[in-house]
Amino acid sequence: KLESRSLTHKLTVGADDKPFGSVTTHDVAEALARDGVAVEKRAIELPQPIKTLGIFDIPVRLHPNVTATLKLWVVKA
């Protein structure tokens, strides 16, 4: 169910399309909660905050042996 979803997160960008801020596990968990899926931010395996625009595959650990991959689109606000 989780792998069939994709999320979009908007970042404010400057003149050279450099984003202000970043996308963290907290942001991904909040976006999933708004979409009706409750996931703890510790289950989202994001090694470092995302600071660029683009499409990212985010692993979400649902169980020690089960990991789903979520597609995250980071776009201009």
pLDDT confidence bin for 3, thresholds 50/70/90? confident
Pairwise CA distance, residues 57 & 2, whole Å: 12
Q: Which phi-psi region, left, alpha or beta, contains residue 38 (left: φ > 0; alpha: ψ -120 to 50)? A: beta
Amino acid residing at 65:
N
Predicted local confidence at residue 50, as pLDDT: 95
| Cα distance between residue 8 and residue 52, in whole Å | 13
**The pLDDT of residue 61:** 94
pLDDT over 80 at 1, yes or no: no
Tens digits of residue pLDDT in 16-72:
878 889 999 999 999 999 988 899 999 999 999 999 999 999 999 989 999 999 999
